[in-house]
Amino acid sequence: MYEKNGEKYFIVDGHMHWWDASPENWKNKYGEGWIRCFYGYHSALSPEEYVWPFEKYCAYTEEDLMKDVFEDGYVDIAVFLPTYLYDFYHKGFNPTERDAILKEKYPDKFVLNTAWDPRDGEAGLEVLEEKVNRWNIKGCKLYTAEWRGDSKGWDLRDPWSVRYLEKCRDLGVNIIHVHKGPTIWPLNKDAFQVNDIDEVATAFPELTFIVEHCNLPRLEDLCWIAVQESNVWGGLAVVLPFIHLRPRQFAQWLGELLFWVGPDKLTFASDYALWHPKWLVEQFVDFQMPEDMVSEYGELTPDIKRKILGLNLAGLYDLQVPAEVMKQASVTA
Amino acid sequence: MIQEDRVRRALSAVRDPELDEPITDLGFVREFQIEGDSVSVTLHLPTYLCAPNFAFIMAADAKEAVGALEGVGRVQVTLVDHQLSEEINEGLAHGKDFDEIFPSDTEGTGLVELRARFDSKAFIARQQGLYRALIEAGATPDLLSRLTVGQLPDGPDTARYLDRRARLGIDTSEAAPFLVNADGTPIPEEELDRHMLFARMVSVTIEGNASFCRGLLATRYGLEPTAEVRT
Q: How far apart are CA B141 and CA B227, in angstroms?
A: 32
Q: Tell me which of B54, B101, B219 to substitute to probe the interface with A (most A C-beta atoms closer than 10 Å).
A: B219
Residue A260 contacts B, CB cutoff 8 Å:
yes
**Exposure string over B67-97, b if 16+ CB within 10 A, otherwise e:** eeeeebeebbbbbebbbbbebbbebbeeebe
- A256 and B211 within 8 Å at the Cβ level: the answer is no
The Cα of A192 is separated from the nearest Cα of chain B by a number of Å equal to: 9
Query: What is the distance in angstroms between the Cα of A64 and the nearest Cα belonging to chain B?
Result: 24
**Full residue range of the structural domain in which residue A257 is found:** 7-316
Is A189 in Cβ contact with B102 (below 8 Å)?
A: no
Name the CA dihedral angle for B198, B23, A184, A171, rounded to a multiple of 10 degrees: -50
Q: What is the pLDDT along chain A (333 residues), one digit of tens a residue?
A: 999 999 999 999 999 999 999 999 999 988 999 999 899 999 999 999 999 999 999 999 999 999 999 999 999 999 999 999 999 999 999 999 999 999 999 999 999 999 999 999 999 999 999 999 999 999 999 999 888 888 878 899 999 999 999 999 999 999 999 998 555 456 677 777 888 999 999 999 999 999 999 988 889 999 999 999 999 999 999 999 999 999 999 999 999 999 999 999 999 999 999 999 999 999 999 999 999 999 999 999 999 999 999 999 999 999 999 999 999 986 654
Domain annotation covers residue A155: yes
**Phi, then psi, of A318 in degrees rounded to 5:** 60, 50
Write the CATH number for A123.
3.20.20.140
> Does the distance separating the beta carbons of B219 and A217 come in below 8 Å?
no
CA distance B190 to chain A (A): 19
Chain A contact present for B221, CB below 8 A: no
Examine the predicted complex and report whether its ipTM is higher than 0.90: no
CATH superfamily of B4-109: Fe-S cluster assembly (FSCA) (3.30.300.130)
The domain locations on chain B are: 4-109, 113-209
Point out the residue among B98, B109, B219 whose CB comes nearest to the CB of A40.
B219
Pairing status of strand B21-22 against strand B15-16: antiparallel
For chain A, the domain total comes to 1
A72 inside domain: yes
Among the residues of B48-150, which ranges form H helices?
A: 52-67, 85-93, 98-101, 112-136, 141-146
